[in-house]
Amino acid sequence: MYTIKDVAKKAGVSIATVSRVLNKKDRVKEETRQKVLSVINELNYVTNFSAKALRRNCTDVIGVIVPEISNSFYGEIIKGIENKANEYDLRLIVCNGEGNLDKERGFAKFLYDQSIAGMIFIIPCMPDSELVEMKNNQKPIVLFGRNMQKYNIPSITVDNKLGAYKAVSHLCAYGYKKVAFISGEEAEHLYDRKERFEGYIEALRDCGHEVKPEYLVTAPAETINTVFAQLMAVTNPPDAVFCAYDELALGVIKTAQQMGINIPGDIGLVGFDDLRICQYTSPTLTTVKQPTYIIGSLCCEKLVYSIRQPQEGQNVNLLIPPDLIIRQSCGC
């Protein structure tokens, strides 16, 4: 395997010049740059990131921990992170935490043991105290899905309460009066579910409608068929359903078809997230859009800033307003 010293010798330049070319510095004549690049290509030289890490005490690698790598919602965020990371010549390691605290801890330890430059947590299980400890140990981190401003940790959140409020207000404006809410499974770290519930409650009350306990359902996605059937079997069933996330709403569409219930003819439906599949379902799904690709890009931007300007702050939480995407399922 060739070294940077071999490249410099064959190109007839200093090691420092080769380093400036590799790091895309401006202080290199174009003729010299092309000569060095030609030698790099000829020798098939690959940067030794391990040696580089030892010199700088970190690598040009960032880590990302997501709850479910197979979910297209997180896939779009990862895509946004990766494309932005490429602009900064950073490489990406993605870890599938599966919503498991022990896995997240293990991945975080492993990644920082490899001297990565920083880490992005997507809706982490990890408690605030452990995240604060990382930050205090000079380990740059950025979070999506939890406001960490009070800890001076950069974070990005979507205004979930506003998104839910928009969804339910829209249903009420078009004549729906009995709107049910199906949330996902309860978990302390899932702040988005709680915020969406608050938006649902506030919208109903502002529209002058009663909040009925029998319309409030907690359900993991895998039980949605049973839960929806039970919801439609109550004495006075709802005329619309707002789901805390699209995966639940997609389950409602499938179960309703099996039960012979027409959406939106018999019942209106709105989801939250705007997964790519929502525009292809039958009916297409009205939903609250989270700009996932942009979220990923912004997370990476924040992390790069934290890595390169660790003393300059900018650790405020960025709150992103969501949009309501109106399609067929609400019947509006």
**What is the residue-level pLDDT of the chain in tens, covering all 332 positions?**
677 788 888 889 888 888 778 776 667 888 888 888 888 888 777 655 444 443 444 568 999 999 999 889 999 999 999 999 988 888 999 999 998 999 999 999 988 887 789 999 999 999 999 999 998 888 899 999 999 999 999 999 999 999 999 999 999 999 999 999 999 777 677 888 999 999 999 999 999 998 999 999 987 778 898 999 999 999 999 999 999 999 999 999 999 999 999 999 999 999 999 999 999 999 999 999 999 999 999 999 999 988 887 666 566 899 999 999 999 999 98
pLDDT of residue 245: 93
What is the CATH superfamily name and number for domain 160-290? Response regulator (3.40.50.2300)
Q: Distance between CA atoms of 293 and 1, rounded to whole angstroms?
A: 38
Same fold, 57-158+292-320 and 160-290: yes
Confidence at residue 26, expressed as pLDDT on a 0 to 100 scale: 64
Residue 25 has a pLDDT of 63
SS3 readout for 166-201? HHHHHHHHCCCCCEEEEECCCCCCCHHHHHHHHHHH
DSSP for 32-50, written as a single string: HHHHHHHHHHHHT----HH
CATH superfamily of 57-158+292-320: Response regulator (3.40.50.2300)
Q: At what angle do helices 101-113 and 128-136 cross, to 10 degrees?
A: 10
Judge residue 205's burial from the number of C-beta atoms within 10 Å of its C-beta, 0-12 exposed, 13-18 middle, 19 or more buried: exposed
Residue ranges per structural domain of the chain: 4-47, 57-158+292-320, 160-290
Q: What is the pLDDT of residue 311?
A: 63
Class in CATH terms, 4-47: mainly alpha
> Does the predicted model carry a pTM greater than 0.75?
yes
What does the pLDDT read at residue 53? 42
